[in-house]
Structure 1
Amino acid sequence: MELDQSLSEYSRLREQECRELLRLFEELGIATAERVYAPGDVVYREGEYGDGLYILTSGVLKLFRPYSATKEATLRLLNNWDIFGHLAFEGETKQRAYAEAVTECRVTKAPKIFVERAIKRDSRVAFKILTLSELRLVQYEELVKCLLPRETEVRVANLLPLLANKFGQPDGGGGMTIALRLTHQDLAAMVASTRESVTKVLNDFRSRDLIAIQSGRITLKDQPALEILSRD
């Protein structure tokens, strides 16, 4: 519960900082481009030139890396007011992962050359970008601290309520459905475990009527019981 509250506060601060950064760009006459991506659209590919700062203003987007001809590992799931993209101000840099829309996404992009110009004109821009980067890092560290180094069952019991808090929709029967189709491999990548171990845990949770899974979507039927497991 404390982690949920902490992440919610970080999300509120992240939205505030993103909005203020966009306002600064507008005040400075810095051009940004907004684009809508349909589910499955690629925003950029691993290895492409990192040519801008991306702000996800609505929707759900995933960062992933393929690790075989047919498999991929989800590195992060992003939602409203997350920043993403690998951007370096000295020399050239390449994107370290694929960015792909999971739902319809609205993304604002500030080209690298314009971001550099804005920083030179107003130091507040650099401060906002640093603050957003720090918030992203703190959220990641909080999640890692929560998940590791524990048994896979405890990690998954921690992760599912976090995903429900960020991407959940009431199912009408008192449960909360994570409104994303997540493979067992996706979940395994998020909790630093194997697909086989995660599958075993999910099957156990289903047999205990803690969750339900339909068409790749997970519904939390007994979140208090999962929270008790997560403290083990």
Structure 2
Amino acid sequence: MEAEFSWPEIKELQEQECRGLLGLLQEMGVASADRTYPPGEAIYREGEYGDALYILTSGVVKLFSPYSGTKEATLRLLKPWDIFGHLAFAGETVQLAYAEAITESKITKVPKVFMERAIRQEPQVALKVMTLLEFRLVQYEELVKCLLPRETEVRLANLLPILSRKFGEGDGGGPVTIDLRLTHQDLAAMVASTRESVTKVLNELRNRDVISIESGRITLKDHQALSELGKA
């Protein structure tokens, strides 16, 4: 998928698939529920029964898992038209992470029992779900690669372009601003590092004019430098 499509094309295709899936479900009379979550509200908690497919239609959602008592690892940041929720069609399953709204977020929830029925009745539903799961897998694989290097600098150099592609504002050839207010602790949770290490690396990147930071929003200014750091 990565070789065939650019990230802007993947975003567009993902939205088309989500809208197409919701349209099919509506035509079939499949029940779903729309709900808006304020910032900071839990959508579901780790260990809860996985009983539905969730589709984010607006806002930003964080998937995370706590560890070592008070720490947490951010597993994924979701943008509109991402799907989420641990939904197993064979037997029962539980959610493997917490899902929490970062900004005001509108979410469509389709109960598992109705998804199973729709998939049995209409092959196009199954095809669209499989396509969306593939998009999700691609994003997970990208984030996992960020954790392979030992150095925080290399991890951040790999993470920032991913965030810029997903939440970026700007043209492809110039500076790109990540349209999210990210604290140093937020970034540390995404690269499995400490806030102090992330702060040090960000200051170094800013001093070298690789990035700039204003009001918690990071702008990538030197994409080539980040690319070279990410290969270290």
Task: Give runs of aligned pairs for residues 168-187 of structure 1, distance below 5 A.
Answer: 168-169=168-169, 175-187=175-187
Letter in 2 for 1:26: Q
Q: Structure 2 unaligned runs (5+)?
A: none
- Structure 1 outlier segments of 4+, above 6 Å: none
Secondary structure at the aligned position of 2:62 is classed as strand
Name the counterpart of 2:110: 110
Query: Does structure 1 conserve the Cα–Cα contact (< 8 Å) formed by 2:57 and 2:106?
Result: yes
Secondary structure at the aligned position of 1:43 is classed as strand
> In structure 2, how many angstroms separate the alpha carbons of the residues matched to 1:214 and 1:71?
26
Query: Does structure 2 conserve the Cα–Cα contact (< 8 Å) formed by 1:147 and 1:158?
Result: no
Name the counterpart of 2:213: 213
> In structure 2, how many angstroms separate the alpha carbons of the residues matched to 1:9 and 1:93?
33
Q: Structure 1 unaligned runs (5+)?
A: none
Shift of residue 212 of structure 1? 3.2
> In structure 1, how many angstroms separate the alpha carbons of the residues matched to 2:139 and 2:74?
17
How many corresponding residue pairs?
227
Name the counterpart of 1:19: 19
> In structure 1, how many angstroms separate the alpha carbons of the residues matched to 2:14 and 2:168?
19
Query: Does structure 1 conserve the Cα–Cα contact (< 8 Å) formed by 2:157 and 2:226?
Result: yes
Query: Does structure 2 conserve the Cα–Cα contact (< 8 Å) formed by 1:42 and 1:98?
Result: yes
Task: Give runs of aligned pairs for residues 37-76 of structure 1, distance below 5 A.
Answer: 37-76=37-76
Name the counterpart of 1:197: 197
> In structure 2, how many angstroms separate the alpha carbons of the residues matched to 1:40 and 1:177?
23
**With structure 1 as the length reference, what TM-score do the two structures score?**
0.84
**With structure 2 as the length reference, what TM-score do the two structures score?**
0.84
Shift of residue 13 of structure 1? 2.2
Name the counterpart of 2:124: 124
CA RMSD of aligned residues (A): 2.6
Shift of residue 49 of structure 1? 1.3
Residues 143-202 of structure 1, C-alpha deviations (whole Å, 9 max, x = no match)? 4446634743233122212212322346xxx85432323343432343344544333321
> In structure 1, how many angstroms separate the alpha carbons of the residues matched to 2:142 and 2:136?
10
